[in-house]
Structure 1
Amino acid sequence: MSQHDLSIEADIPKNQIGRIERAEINTTVITLHKIASALNVDVASLVNPHSNQT
């Protein structure tokens, strides 16, 4: 999913998505929840990508 598509799905500005992705800013739990919902994943998989692996 592109940053543009994610920004639309999550209702977050595209530049903010980019800054989060590049670790230039910290974000709120609410924003993490919006991103996770848009990607159809749990918030835990965003903060720990290995959390769902066995």
Structure 2
Amino acid sequence: MTKRQAVTNRIDQPPDQPSPPPCEACSGDGGTVVDTSSDGVTRESWKSCGSCHGTGTR
């Protein structure tokens, strides 16, 4: 479980309920880090999953 999933589950669901199944497109991560680094400058940004809209769940 990623840190993002742990925070999402804690906020969105009571602890006694099972977590919803993970998104198949992003494997439950909610998106990916996009690296656009060049010329020695590091640039990373978050791109939310289009299938689950960044929730990481179906």
Q: TM-score, normalised by structure 1?
A: 0.25
Q: Larger C-alpha radius of gyration, 1 or 2? A: 2
* Structure with more relative contact order (C-alpha pairs < 8 Å, separation 6 or more): 2
Higher strand share: 2
